[in-house]
Amino acid sequence: MTTQPSLDSTRLGTDEYLAHLDADFEAMLEASTDLGAEVPGCPGWDVAALLSHVLGVYRHKLETLRTDANPGDRSEGGWGVVPEGVDVRDEIRTTYVELREILSARDADEPTFAWWPSEQTVGFWHRRMAQETTVHRWDAESATDGPDGAGDVPEDLAADGVDELLGWLRWPWDDVPQPGATGQRVLVAADDHSWTVTLNETSVEVVGGAGEADALVAGPASGLLLYLWGRPGEHGIATTGDETAIRLLRERLLMATS
C-alpha cells in the first residue's frame, strides 16, 4: 500500500509535513494567550474551544495510529474534554508530544485506518495533521491580532492544502443532490498550481492543471486555502466568470467539510 499522489504534484515529504506541523503547533500555542478571545473564522468559538477541538483531533488520531483502527465518531466520546482545573494549553502540549512521536516513528506507506477510502496509510495523517494545525494556527492568531494580523500559511503547505481540500470533493454521494449544478467548471489557481473542478448534481470531478472553465478563482496559495476554508478576510483572491459556478463551488465545499 502506498501513499496516494496529489492532484497537481503538491505532495510534500514526511519530514516537510512534520517540520510545518511543529512550527504551526508552537505558533498556535504562542497566539493562545487569551482563552476567552473570539475566533473570527469559527463562529461561537473562543480560543479555549478552538484548542479543545484541536486536542480532540489529536487524541483521536493518536488512538487511530496506536490501534490502526477506527476509534469511532470523533463527535462522540468527549475527545476534547479537559479535566477540571487543567489548562487546555498544557493538556494539548502533552498530547501533541505523544502524537508527534508516533507520527515520526512510522513510515508514510505503512497501512492504517483513514477516513479517505483511497489512502489508508500513515502518510494520510502526516498530511492531514499538518493541514489541520496550520489552519487552526491561523485561527488562533486571528483571534489575537484579527484576520489581517494572522500569518500566512507557507506557500508549499498552502498549495498542498488546496489540493487536499479540492480532492475531498470527489467523495461519491447521491443522497444530497446539489440543485443547479449542471456541469459548470471552475478553474482554481494558486501560484504555480491549478485545478479544474466540474460541478454536477451528485458528483464533482477534480483534475490537476488548467482546463476550459466557466469561472476562475485565483490568488496566492495561502489566501486561496483560507478562502476555500471560509476564513474571513480578503486574502488577495480574484474571481471572474460565472458567479453561479463560484457560488456552487463554495456551497459544495461547505457540504464536504461540515
DSSP-derived secondary structure letter, 116:
S
DSSP-derived secondary structure letter, 153:
P
Residue 186, pLDDT score: 98
Question: In sequence order, what are the residues at sequence separation of 6 or more whose Cβ sits closer than 8 angstroms to the Cβ of residue 123?
Answer: 3, 14, 108, 109
Residue 2, pLDDT score: 67
C-alpha grid cell for residue 78?
468527549
**Distance spanning both ends of the chain, measured CA to CA:** 29
Largest pairwise CA distance in the chain: 57
Instruction: Find, among 14, 11, 253, 47, the residue nearest to 150 by Cα.
Output: 47
Residue 127, pLDDT score: 98
Model-wide pTM > 0.95: yes
Q: Which residues pair with 198 in a beta bridge?
A: 185, 205
Residue 1, pLDDT score: 56
CA separation for the pair 85, 62 (Å, rounded): 23
Residue 38, pLDDT score: 98
Looking only at the bridges linking them, the beta strands covering 193-200 and 182-190 are antiparallel
Residue 176, pLDDT score: 80
For the chain, list the domains and their CATH numbers: 14-151 (1.20.120.450), 166-257 (3.30.1050.10)
- Mean pLDDT, the chain cut into blocks of 10 residues (258 residues total): 86 98 98 98 98 98 98 92 96 98 98 95 98 98 97 98 97 84 97 96 95 97 98 96 97 90
DSSP-derived secondary structure letter, 109:
T
CA separation for the pair 148, 119 (Å, rounded): 35
